[in-house]
Chains A and B, each alone.
Chain A
Amino acid sequence: MGDAWNYFFDHRAEIQDWTGTTLWLAVLPVAIGLVLSLPVGWLAYRYRWSYPPIISGAGLLYTIPSLVLFVSLPGLLGTKILDPINVAVALTVYTFALLVRIVADGLLSVAPATLDAAAAMGYTTFQRLVKVQLPIAVPVIGAGLRVAAVSNVSLISVASAIGVTQLGNLFVEGFRQGRTPPTIVGLVLFIVIAVVFDAAILLGIRLLTPWRRAVAAR
């Protein structure tokens, strides 16, 4: 442990830099993936015939090996091979693929009687989606978002294989030098990031759903 601490101290400038990259790669793809999955998930919910193809399509996206995606994106996007944007886009694709189904299922989880009542009160379709369906779907979508967030964090280090530097480089270093301190530092930092990110999402869910706690406390 002392060795790991020394390693961290000796390389803190580099590690700080890598942590910055890792952090934005952890947050941004999840945020963008969520925003993109909302309309597509809604489509799958709204038009029943589109549910199977959209959900299967999203499942296929998720099965593309991450290395393939990292390597092929520069060709598709016209970016440089070492540009971290490639990694961000790839991670966004995975989050999106995971969340489309979650969003559709979250919207489907709203009780028909509640939807009927909302329509009968005079909500327009869009008002109903924003004021009734999405808020009620927060627990389902939030649970999916937590899974997507931590799995996204775990995917980031793979980017080291294509030369995009972030905390995953610590594992490469550890392997190259044949010693454990860099690996331990990397593991600890990834775990801290995942835990903090997960806790932040959990906090957000709790703030958005006071009604669930009130019921649970009964």
Chain B
Amino acid sequence: MIRFESVTKRYPDGTVAVDELTLEAPSREITVLVGPSGCGKTTSLRMINRMIEPTSGRIMLDDRDTAAVKPSDLRRGMGYVIQHAGLFPHRTILDNVATVPLLLGQDKKQARARAAELLERVGLDPAFAKRYPAQLSGGQQQRVGVARALAADPPVMLMDEPFSAVDPVVREQLQDEFLRLQHDLGKTIVFVTHDIDEAIKLGDKVAVLRVGGKLAQFAPPAELLSRPADPFVAGFVGRDRGYRALGFAEAGQLPLNDEKTVPLGDKVRAAKDIAQDDWTLVVDADTKPQGWLAVGRLPDRALDAEITPDLLNLGGTLASESGTLRAALDAALSSPSGRGVIVHDDGRYAGTVTASRVLARIEERAAKVRADAVHAAGGEHRDVAPDGIGGGR
């Protein structure tokens, strides 16, 4: 656990970067510090490992005052990942990862064996071990950065915008793998980002900071979306809050249409025979959905052709049956047929669902949330809906 106790950082010129920050990052969870530039989030992070010293207040690491620990010792017990990875250009990937174990006095062979294991863990080909950082892409470098931070198996990880400098596709991949890794490792993580979507996706708890280094709200992401503490948080969390909050609501057992499908390689005529509204879902040999076939637009002579992947419309997203209401609604809204495709957890086809079915489920849930809120408030604030607090956009 990392606890900020009234921590303030004031620079000699009078600028206050962090103002009386009190906050506890729980053990084995991801705590995200998020806010616009100038909100002191990076300064706060760097005070944890004493790269920056607080002007006043204390930072406790499991009830030990960090100010009493020698900085180099403190840092060797905390993994650190930064935006551009900050790899050592003169060392091979393997030796980059082995840095902290070597600093801790492990012998070279042992440290390198451990490093090789970690490279695999973060999804890097062992062939990269002998290369140098400049020979890797940004995303690959960032994986090495994570491996290096994990090498000495520190209980704490500090991450400063680690995924901000890579393209959106790679970023999403890295985020997903990061969550999987954290699920296995259970580190105490403090994660800094300026991207509220990343904060909401990754954080167990999110601290929203405002310019001047004041804590605006510290809450789990779902609460941040449903009950922003003030107009600043509401504005920062931004548009589509209601829709994004659905990303935290499990869809549960949705009533699925047991719609018929055709496998790839069948005749187009077979698809036309079972089409609803001129659309038929095409699956592969394992019944994994491949895309939608528009049979209404095809000329008669095409009916005897085989169904090939290039005929398919790939517009629809897939939602897992154990997924969220947001994923289910998105599957329905994005599907060219208007029917969202739901799959089993192993990716096989389960059924389809329409947007109106998902909306009905959302309505049910919202009614229940309102009823609970009224109940919790003892019926005194009957006219204030929980989602209305703070207003905003």
Contacts and interface: CB of A to CB of B under 8 A. Distances in A.
Interface of A: 111, 113-114, 116-124, 127, 132, 135-136, 138, 209, 211, 214-215, 218
8 contacts: A111-B89, A116-B86, A117-B88, A117-B145, A121-B100, A136-B89, A211-B91, A211-B132
B87 A214 contact: no
Interface in B151-176: 158
Contact of A211 (B78, B85, B89): B89
Nearest to A125: B72
Contacts of A135: 90
Contacts of B49: 120
Given A122-B73, A122-B100, A215-B135, A209 B84 contact: no
B292 to A, nearest CB: 43
A218 B80 CA distance: 29
A8 B148 CA distance: 61
A121 B135 contact: no
A124 B72 contact: yes
Contacts of A138: 90
B108 interface: no
Q: Which of B51, B75, B85 is the most central at the interface, judged by chain A CB atoms within 10 Å of its CB?
A: B75
A122 B76 contact: yes
Q: Which of A114, A136, A138, A209 is the most central at the interface, judged by chain B CB atoms within 10 Å of its CB?
A: A114
B185 interface: no
Q: How many of chain B's residues touch chain A, expressed as a range? A: 20 to 34
Given A113-B84, A122-B76, A218-B135, 13 more contacts: A114-B86, A116-B51, A116-B82, A117-B88, A120-B80, A121-B100, A122-B74, A122-B75, A123-B103, A138-B90, A211-B90, A211-B91, A215-B134
A106 to B, nearest CB: 13
Contacts of A215: 132, 134-135
Given A119-B51, A121-B75, A135-B90, A214 B135 contact: yes
Interface in B310-342: none
B352 interface: no
B131 interface: yes
B287 interface: no
Contact of B88 (A118, A122, A218): A118
B89 A121 contact: no
Contact of B131 (A116, A121, A132, A214): A214
A117 B87 contact: yes
Nearest to B78: A120
Contacts of B51: 116, 119-120
Given A113-B82, A113-B84, A211-B89, A119 B132 contact: no
Nearest to A216: B134
B118 to A, nearest CB: 14
B100 A113 contact: no
B75 A119 contact: yes
A135 B145 CA distance: 20
A211 B72 CA distance: 27
A117 B80 contact: yes
B22 interface: no
A215 B99 CA distance: 21
B6 interface: no
Interface string B241-265: 0000000000000000000000000
B90 A120 contact: no
B76 A121 contact: yes
Nearest to A113: B86
Contacts of A136: 88-90
A215 B131 CA distance: 9
B268 to A, nearest CB: 48
B27 to A, nearest CB: 21
B82 A121 contact: no
A131 to B, nearest CB: 9
A121 B134 contact: no
A83 B368 CA distance: 99
A63 to B, nearest CB: 35
A17 B177 CA distance: 70
A30 B143 CA distance: 43
Nearest to A218: B135
B83 interface: yes
B86 A117 contact: yes
Contacts of B75: 119-122
